[in-house]
Amino acid sequence: MTTVVRETATRSQVGVAQPRRDAREKLRGEAQFVGDLIVPRMLHGRVLRSPIAHGRIVSIDASAAEKLPGVVCVLTGADLADIDPYYGHAIKDRPIVAIDKVRFHGEQVAAVAAVTPAAAAAAVEAIVVEYDELPVVADVEAAVAPDAPLVTDRDLVPGLFHGLGELAPRDGNICYRYRLDRGEPEAVFAHADVVIDGEYAFPAVYQYAMETHTVIAQVEGDEISLWASCQHPFLVRAEIADLFRVPVANVRIQVPYLGGGFGSKSYTKMEPLTVALARKAGRPVKIQNRVGESMVTTRRHNMRCRMRTASTADGRLLAREVTCLFDTGAYADNGPRVVATAGDAAPGPYRWEAYRVDASCVYTNLAPSGSYRAFGATHLQWIGESQVEEIARRCGVDPVEIRRRNLCTPGEEIRAGGKPLDADLVGDVEKVAAAVGWDEPKPPLVGRGVSVGLLAAGAHPVSSAICRLESDGRVVVLVATTEMGQGPRTAFAQIAAEELGIDSDRVTVHGADTRFTPYDRSTGASRSTTVAGLAVQRAAADIRRQLEGIAGTSAIAPDDHVELMRKHFGFAGGELIGRGEVAPAGTGSYAEGPVFWEVCVGAAEVEVNPDTGFVRIRRTATAADVGRAINPQLVERQDEGATLQGLGNALFEEMIYEEGLLLNDTLLDYRVPSFGDLPDEMTCVIVENEDGPGPYGAKGCGEGALAAVPAAIVNALADAGVPMNELPLTPERVWRRIQELKKEGTWQQ
Amino acid sequence: MEIALSVNGRDVVHEVAPNELLLDFLRDSLGLTGAKRSCDVQVCGACTVLVDGLPVSSCCVLAAQAAGHEVTTIEGLAEREEFERLEDVFTRHAALQCGFCTPGMLLTVASLLESGELASEEEIKRSLAGNLCRCTGYRAIVEAVAELAGVA
């Protein structure tokens, strides 16, 4: 991709903290989310979910439910005989509702459409299902044991967007495996002075977008309309068209505001079931998940990992070996991509002589796992970085200095055949370290840590945008990026205004309606400002060129636009249409990517209470290495939000399963960060080296901090005397570790 | 059953089911969708409305319990003159992102400002603990509320 770079001094719209354009609507409660929408003749859907983790469905008796007042229909697997009811963008392994078997606690078994939510809820209670329980595959280790029961016996059918090259056949419960190799790790480990070797565990985590998954579907003949809380409307459109055998253009998806996404609304979630229910009911249906239902709709993979890292006695990093098992639950969801991204993140951006990564995506009888902000990187950065920290300690090298010596520099290869490093990581580490007072004296029980990593970002670089210059001089931007809080409508208005030399108040940006907004691959992987933003920039530049052609000069004042259009069209109407497109430079394959490396650099200062095990976060700092901040205030907010989520992942968030049953499925038992969890100081350092492929040298942000912060906290806690190898760092777990250290005689405080 | 109450300063008489939640009554019967449903267990605060000026989780209160009381939703708060200051300060600090928690957050803030309970940053954090926000990381909200409350 080429970048249009103009002189910084001439920019008036970009690089400025302009107010959010949706602030008024959202503050006044006028912003509409799917749950606020009413479609004429709309029914309310409710889902019956499996109470067990694994079992054969012996019978479903919905006769009593169907007779209840207000009930229009009950949908079961038997209603899907006319289609191939399996979907999944990576692997088509998931039935719209359970067919013959249930594979996780909470799986969709049947759904009711009724005139009121209360009638639907009553009918769900009246459905009688008989199960024959099967052995439960409760964790990844059990899943890969030689005699493990199979979660599915189906062959792996690639989905429309698996994007992983050739999909290998299923190997027992392993549905996907990602390997990276460089050099001969065994030989390097054999002569290394220092080897750190450990086993680690990362918990299952819930994204908790406050708006739960909500969908309205309407089926009229072969036309399907959806109003959906989805991040990737065009990908959902394709999957719905494929499932229900209609042309892609017959599926229309409108996306209003999203009440948070964080990956939980990426790809296809509740849409197929809602369409199937609306199809049977013959009327529009709304399904709105409860929190406990959203938790089992998608979640973050729990993972187990063994890692070894080797170095010389003076702290030169030599080799790393990583084996990890990701628990993708009963259906793959985005597991294969999470695992590939984790594999890329596993070595860390250091100058290795050799490494070997073997990451597996494993079926179990838990809820399906998919995307959550900074996936893969969050899983592995804290592990790799804790080993680097331990090497620094053993070699007597300062943790910042060991990064200085070993980190790759801009232009160096990160992954063979892929994009070289496009960031100044050493500079980023130095900045965050300074922000937590790296060289200041430390009180007792206080530790400081830094962490650094990279996240393959940008996804598939396909986006398009249309700008319409109207006869009154106002501009409408059509781009399908989902506004889920991150502020793309504000950033895009700034970009379009900058290109056209007008004030951004004259620009309006709407959300996705797949019937009218041009194609955009997705809203995720920190790609929107970089990729969709580039499409917006090109669309606006296209209009500018047209105006210059009409004027016969490039010296156009904003006030000239209306007059130039009148001159062109010969009356007070007409509009100029600008097109902007982004397509891959090469084949667009994963191996050639990523679009950019998202920087995951952070630092933390923590204080541990040895009597209670409680870890207090005194300071955090993150580097928003964004190339160019289109809106610096929104960049800061992204890092702050990701920091608090990272703090939750590190300290207390965990979905607790017992033999496949989810025990904490409400926010009473699953705690997320609150106001009281704010660090005493939280710093976001914006780094602008104009080294990104997006508009004005921009690249994405907002996810990196979620990988960087847990790793920095783990390292800071180790610096305070408590090295940990399992998250979350609950007081009990930390306290028990301190007792172990005391027994071993290694408690330093 | 029929209930009579005041909603956003207007008298309302309406038929409700005995087990109907105040949240559902406001959203479905009165079309006041600013109050949002999220956790259903009085933890997140997205459904917050004011009953006689005090913040209440409308997901855990029956509509019938509001009979005879004054209910204020975000739509009502936004009509008040003093709302413009809240709006200005929250906008300047970018103290919102997805906006799902925002109406409930503002109602809690408005009630606390009225009672004058926010004398320090610590009190702001403690008093707002019943409203979750998953996007902002809280800092911008604390700064906005500190400015509104005149806390240095």
DSSP A513: B
Looking at the structure, tell me whether residues A600 and A716 fall in a common domain.
yes
Q: Considering only the beta carbons, identify the residue of B87, B100, B137 that sits closest to A260.
A: B100
**How many residues does this entry show for chain B?**
152
Q: How far is A452 from chain B (nearest CA, A)?
A: 21
Whether residue A2 is predicted with pLDDT greater than 50 in this model: the reply is no
Sort residue A445 into left (φ over 0), alpha (ψ -120 to 50) or beta.
left
Task: Residue B43: count other Cβ atoms within 10 Å of its Cβ.
Answer: 23
Task: Residue A398: count other Cβ atoms within 10 Å of its Cβ.
Answer: 14
> Under an 8 A CB cutoff, do B99 and A644 touch?
no
Q: A 104-123 residues with CB below 8 A of B?
A: 117-118
Bridge-based pairing of strands B10-15 and B48-51 is: unpaired
- A305 lies in a domain? no
A437 touches chain B (CB under 8 A): no
Radius of gyration for chain A, computed over Cα atoms and rounded to the nearest angstrom: 26
Mean pLDDT, rounded, of chain B: 97
Of A554, A583, A612, which marks where a domain is finished? Answer: A583
Quickly tell me which residue has 């998919």 as its tokens. A370
Q: What is the mean pLDDT of residues A199-218?
A: 98
In angstroms, rounded to a whole number, what is the distance separating the alpha carbons of residues B17 and B37? 19
Q: What is the mean pLDDT of residues A721-728?
A: 98
Q: A 22-61 residues with CB below 8 A of B?
A: 22-33, 35-36
- A224 lies in a domain? no
In angstroms, rounded to a whole number, what is the distance separating the alpha carbons of residues A677 and A671? 11
Which pLDDT band, with edges at 50, 70 and 90, does A586 fall under? confident
Sort residue A17 into left (φ over 0), alpha (ψ -120 to 50) or beta.
beta
In angstroms, rounded to a whole number, what is the distance separating the alpha carbons of residues A410 and A401? 18
3-state secondary structure (DSSP) of residue B91:
helix
CB of A248 closer than 8 Å to CB of B74: no
- A636 lies in a domain? yes
Q: Check: CATH 3.90.550.10 for B2-73?
A: no
> Under an 8 A CB cutoff, do B37 and A35 touch?
yes
Looking at the structure, tell me whether residues A481 and A526 fall in a common domain.
yes
Among residues B42, B70, B43, B39, the alpha carbon closest in space to that of B58 is found at B42
Strand partners, A86: A95
Quickly tell me which residue has 């949908």 as its tokens. A75
pLDDT for the residue numbered A10: 65
- Domain positions in chain B are 2-73, 83-149
pLDDT for the residue numbered A215: 98
Which pLDDT band, with edges at 50, 70 and 90, does A641 fall under? very high
Q: How many domains does chain A have?
A: 2
Show the tokens assigned to A506: 């004259």
Looking at the structure, tell me whether residues A721 and A617 fall in a common domain.
yes
Indicate the class that CATH gives domain B83-149: mainly alpha
pLDDT for the residue numbered A336: 97
CB of A259 closer than 8 Å to CB of B99: yes
Provide the greatest CA pair distance for chain B: 50
Q: What percent of chain A has pLDDT over 70?
A: 99
Task: Residue A723: count other Cβ atoms within 10 Å of its Cβ.
Answer: 18
Mean pLDDT, rounded, of chain A: 96
Q: What is the mean pLDDT of residues A26-34?
A: 98
A484 touches chain B (CB under 8 A): yes
Q: A 231-290 residues with CB below 8 A of B?
A: 257-262, 288, 290
3-state secondary structure (DSSP) of residue A279:
helix
Strand partners, A681: A619
Whether residue A3 is predicted with pLDDT greater than 50 in this model: the reply is no
Provide CB contacts within 8 A for A37, sequence distance 6+.
A216, A227, A256, A286
Crossing angle of the two packed helices A377-395 and A335-345, in degrees rounded to 10: 20
Query: Which residues in chain B are closer than 8 Å to A26, comparing Cβ atoms?
Result: 96, 98-99, 102
Bridge-based pairing of strands B10-15 and A71-75 is: unpaired
Closest-CA residue of chain A to B46 = A210
Looking at the structure, tell me whether residues A475 and A504 fall in a common domain.
yes
A133 touches chain B (CB under 8 A): no
What is the residue range of A477's domain?
8-31+462-583
Instruction: Report pLDDT digits (tens) over A400-445.
Output: 999 999 999 999 999 999 999 999 999 999 999 999 999 999 999 9
CB of A183 closer than 8 Å to CB of A354: yes
Looking at the structure, tell me whether residues A568 and A601 fall in a common domain.
no
Which pLDDT band, with edges at 50, 70 and 90, does A8 fall under? very low
Which pLDDT band, with edges at 50, 70 and 90, does A163 fall under? confident
Which pLDDT band, with edges at 50, 70 and 90, does A1 fall under? very low
pLDDT for the residue numbered A749: 66
- What's CA A491's distance to the chain center, in Å? 20
> Under an 8 A CB cutoff, do A678 and B40 touch?
no
Q: How far is B146 from chain A (nearest CA, A)?
A: 13
CB of A433 closer than 8 Å to CB of A682: no
Q: How far is B81 from chain A (nearest CA, A)?
A: 13
pLDDT for the residue numbered A585: 87
Q: What is the mean pLDDT of residues B108-137?
A: 96
Among residues A432, A348, A376, the alpha carbon closest in space to that of A716 is found at A432
Looking at the structure, tell me whether residues A403 and A433 fall in a common domain.
yes
pLDDT for the residue numbered A164: 81
Whether residue A4 is predicted with pLDDT greater than 60 in this model: the reply is no
Q: Burial level of A497, CB count in 10 A (0-12/13-18/19+)?
A: buried
Domain with residue A598: its CATH number is 3.30.365.10
Query: For the complex shown, is ipTM > 0.95?
Result: yes
Closest-CA residue of chain A to B26 = A36
Whether residue A135 is predicted with pLDDT greater than 70 in this model: the reply is yes
pLDDT for the residue numbered A165: 79
Q: What is the pTM of this model?
A: 0.97
Q: What is the mean pLDDT of residues A85-95?
A: 97
> Under an 8 A CB cutoff, do B137 and A640 touch?
yes
Q: What is the mean pLDDT of residues A283-288?
A: 98
Instruction: Report pLDDT digits (tens) over B33-92.
Output: 999 999 999 999 999 999 999 999 999 999 999 999 999 999 999 999 999 999 999 999
DSSP B21: B
Instruction: Report pLDDT digits (tens) over A538-551.
Output: 999 999 999 999 99
Closest-CA residue of chain B to A28 = B78
pLDDT for the residue numbered A308: 98
CB of A78 closer than 8 Å to CB of A65: no
Q: How far is A587 from chain B (nearest CA, A)?
A: 35
Looking at the structure, tell me whether residues A526 and A597 fall in a common domain.
no
Which pLDDT band, with edges at 50, 70 and 90, does A6 fall under? very low
Closest-CA residue of chain B to A484 = B98
> Under an 8 A CB cutoff, do A27 and B35 touch?
no
Of A531, A549, A583, which marks where a domain is finished? Answer: A583
Cα atoms in the Cβ-side hemisphere of radius 13 Å centred on A243: 29
Looking at the structure, tell me whether residues A709 and A693 fall in a common domain.
yes
Looking at the structure, tell me whether residues A617 and A523 fall in a common domain.
no
Closest-CA residue of chain A to B131 = A674
Among residues B89, B150, B88, the alpha carbon closest in space to that of B120 is found at B150
Which stretches of B29-119 are DSSP H helices?
74-77, 83-92, 102-115
- A143 lies in a domain? no
Closest-CA residue of chain A to B128 = A675
Please give the backbone phi and psi of residue A616, each rounded to the nearest 5 degrees, phi first. -100, 135
Q: A 641-700 residues with CB below 8 A of B?
A: 641-645, 666-668, 672-678, 682
Q: What is the mean pLDDT of residues A661-671?
A: 98
Provide the greatest CA pair distance for chain A: 89
Which pLDDT band, with edges at 50, 70 and 90, does A5 fall under? very low
- A347 lies in a domain? no
Looking at the structure, tell me whether residues A568 and A603 fall in a common domain.
no
In angstroms, rounded to a whole number, what is the distance separating the alpha carbons of residues A742 and A745? 5
Q: What is the mean pLDDT of residues A646-668?
A: 98
Of A560, A583, A606, which marks where a domain is finished? Answer: A583
> Under an 8 A CB cutoff, do B137 and A637 touch?
yes
pLDDT for the residue numbered A162: 85
